Amino acid sequence: METELSYHPIKEDEKQAICEWVYDGEYSIYNLPSYEEMKEKNLGFANPQKEKNFYTYFDNDTLVGFTNILEEETEVFIGIGVNPDFCSKGYGQKILEITSQICAQKYPGKPLYLEVRTWNERAVRCYQKAGFVIDGDVIEQETYIGRSTFYRMIKKNI
């Protein structure tokens, strides 16, 4: 992909748009509740204490994805969502490259990590292309939609 993506802290209208994304098939577990419900339950970017961690990414004027960047004591957690219309087109990898640069500036020297469902081979490949490697054993954990198994993937940050 030749396009440079632009990014900025998430805005209110973008939160609404992200909640309207519809993933098909097995990926439908990534569909978010309505923005109203997210605000009611203080979930993710609808939580005023957490919204500062979220960035949105654009190809020209098109919203192609978002990230959640959360500094922890010794490392930085990354969450990523790619617009379902733009999955498997290289955007996830590009978003993670930009996110790595943001983290290198804000949190120098702290490794990055993310968690991905073990069945989501498409995402695992994307993260590997972006420099993440599977770290340790499979993790089983509770999510707001039930129990699932995850890989923890890490990337050394500069």
**Do the Cβ atoms of 116 and 77 come closer than 8 Å?**
no
Tell me what pLDDT residue 140 has.
93
Q: Which pLDDT belongs to residue 157?
A: 67
- In the numeric block, which tokens belong to residue 19? 């909640």
pLDDT along the chain (158 residues), means of 10: 85 96 93 94 92 96 97 96 95 96 94 95 94 93 85 86
**Alpha carbon separation from 43 to 59, 63, 72, 111 (Å, rounded):** 26, 20, 19, 25
pLDDT value, residue 158: 59
Q: Cα 19–112–148 angle (5° rounding)?
A: 55
How much is the pLDDT for 144?
A: 73
Residue 62, pLDDT score: 96
Q: What would the pLDDT profile of 55-101 be if each residue is shown by its tens digit?
A: 999 999 999 999 999 999 999 999 999 999 999 999 999 999 999 99
